[in-house]
């Protein structure tokens, strides 16, 4: 990761970005004016003690302003990620509450009634195969995802890429952008879509069936219908038979228990559409592959702790436009580090060990200053063996 940063930034700046992102990756979100406390207590302060960069509030504010206002190194870094990804890219949208009256991006948005405050909108693009984030961008709270994603896609070069996005991104302009330069897309359709309404009238799953495997043991029988709506675009309607049967059974049990709103009328109205997916695609892949790509995309969780927990952007303790976009890049690097750590934990292949377990065990270890060097203390053999299985062997000593 550090070498990737050095390819786009001066060594000092790359190390500062790396340290900031690594502290957030390990400790979760912390305020910008508290980062230096974590840095001084960490092994990082020894490794980079001969570097001139600082990690205090002013230094990090200047870093974020520089990243947000001078975007060429950031563009090169992101473009390099895109060029070397698997070419299977998902884009997610998030809404984040913001109580700050001076945040340049905070505005009343479509979730004002729920949030009771202005919001900012975040778009994240990531590689579905490697789970590595590729882009992270904050937009004004009043913007809608289908407009913001136009800017996101146009700001970088995508070639021969398969996009998987949510129905909220559906617009003719976005679909066109996702179909240029050899690109293609998979997108679910809303029930209000005119083609969905037309197909539902006489739907018969006559195109085929297959068994979908979602894990080592989990399988589902899927039947489907597909049709071409133009020379390059198909609509495929899938019905997960097992999911449909399961939801029918669950609904009837709730009906028998007398739960409110669980009626025979509603059952008859909706039962045929449980486990049914309408997907529009310009890929040339067969229907089972399209379905597998779509389902697999939803199984991925990215590093976005304070985003998904609706943390307040006022807590970031910076409000300027440039600082906000500079922090976008820090979150991108943090997400990459988080996924690399997750991948290392998965290599252990132990369901009882999570990323949190590893961080707790590693966090117990300390470097203690002796006469001739710093020495590693408070270790356990099994904890060291766990870290070694992940591909990391801590230094037992470090020079003064």
List, for residues 126-175, the tens digit of each pLDDT value.
999 999 999 998 887 667 778 888 989 999 999 999 999 999 899 999 99
> Three-state SS for 228?
strand
Q: Check residue 117 and give its pLDDT.
A: 67
| Domain shared by 338 and 372, yes or no | no
Residues 288 and 383 in one domain: no
Handedness of CA 107, 111, 117, 120 (dihedral sign): negative
Q: What is the 8-class DSSP label of residue 160? A: S
> CA 102 to CA 94: how far, in whole Å?
21
With a cut of 50, which residues of the chain have pLDDT below it? 305-307, 309-310
Are 337 and 366 members of one domain?
A: no
Task: Check residue 60 and give its pLDDT.
Answer: 94
Same domain, 94 and 82: yes
> Among the three residues 311, 331, 347, which one is the final residue of a domain in this structure?
347
Single out the residue in 347, 366, 382 at which a domain terminates. 347
- Asked if 273 and 382 sit in the same domain, the reply is no
**Whether residue 385 is found in the same domain as residue 267:** no
- Cβ atoms of 399 and 375 closer than 8 Å: no
Same domain flag for 276 and 391: no
Do 384 and 236 belong together in one domain?
no
> What is the model's pLDDT at position 316?
55
Q: Are residues 379 and 329 in the same domain?
A: no
Question: Do 298 and 381 have their domain in common?
Answer: no
Q: What is the pLDDT of residue 307?
A: 42
Q: Are residues 168 and 37 in the same domain?
A: yes
Number of domains in the chain: 2
Q: What range defines the domain where residue 388 resides?
A: 349-399
**Three-state SS at 122:** strand
Asked if residues 321 and 104 have their Cβ atoms less than 8 Å apart, the reply is: yes
Residues 264 and 194 occupy one common structural domain: yes
User: pTM (2 decimals)?
Assistant: 0.85
Instruction: Give me the CATH number covering residue 35.
Output: 3.90.350
Looking at 347, 368, 389, which one is the last position of a domain? 347
């Amino acid at each position: 990761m550090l070498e990737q940063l050095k390819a786009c930034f001066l060594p000092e700046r790359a190390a500062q970005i790396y340290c900031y992102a690594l502290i957030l990756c390990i400790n979760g979100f912390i305020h910008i004016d508290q980062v230096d406390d974590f840095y001084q207590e960490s092994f990082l302060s020894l490794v980079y003690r001969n570097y001139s960069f600082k990690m205090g509030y002013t230094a990090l504010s200047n870093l974020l302003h520089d990243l947000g206002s001078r975007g060429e190194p950031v563009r090169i870094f992101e473009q390099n990620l895109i060029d070397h990804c698997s070419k299977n890219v998902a884009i997610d949208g998030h809404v984040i509450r913001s109580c700050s009256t001076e945040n340049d991006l905070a505005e009343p948005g479509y979730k004002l009634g729920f949030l009771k405050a202005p919001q900012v909108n975040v778009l994240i693009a990531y590689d579905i195969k490697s789970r590595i984030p590729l882009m992270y961008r904050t937009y004004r709270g009043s913007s809608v995802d289908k407009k913001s994603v136009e800017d996101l896609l146009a700001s970088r070069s995508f070639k021969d890429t398969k996009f998987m996005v949510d129905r909220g991104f559906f617009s003719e302009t976005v679909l066109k952008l996702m179909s240029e330069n050899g690109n293609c897309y998979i997108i679910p359709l809303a029930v209000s879509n005119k083609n969905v309404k037309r197909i539902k009238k006489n739907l018969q799953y006559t195109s085929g069936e297959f068994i979908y495997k979602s894990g080592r043991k989990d399988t589902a029988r899927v039947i489907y219908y597909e049709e071409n709506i133009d020379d390059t675009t198909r609509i495929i309607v899938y019905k997960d038979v097992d999911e449909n049967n399961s939801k029918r059974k669950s609904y009837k049990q709730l009906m028998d228990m007398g739960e409110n709103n669980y009626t025979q009328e509603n059952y008859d109205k909706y039962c045929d559409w449980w486990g049914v997916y309408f997907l529009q695609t310009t890929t040339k892949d067969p229907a089972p592959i399209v379905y597998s790509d779509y389902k697999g995309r939803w199984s991925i969780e990215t590093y976005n702790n304070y985003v998904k927990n609706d943390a307040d952007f006022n807590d970031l303790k910076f409000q300027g436009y440039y600082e906000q976009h500079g922090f976008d890049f820090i979150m991108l690097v943090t997400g990459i580090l988080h996924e690399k750590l997750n991948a290392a934990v998965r290599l252990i292949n132990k369901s009882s060990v999570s990323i949190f377990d590893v961080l707790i065990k590693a966090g117990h270890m300390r470097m203690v200053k002796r006469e001739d060097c710093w020495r590693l203390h408070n270790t356990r053999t099994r904890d060291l063996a766990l870290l070694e299985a992940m591909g990391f062997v801590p230094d037992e000593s470090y020079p003064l």
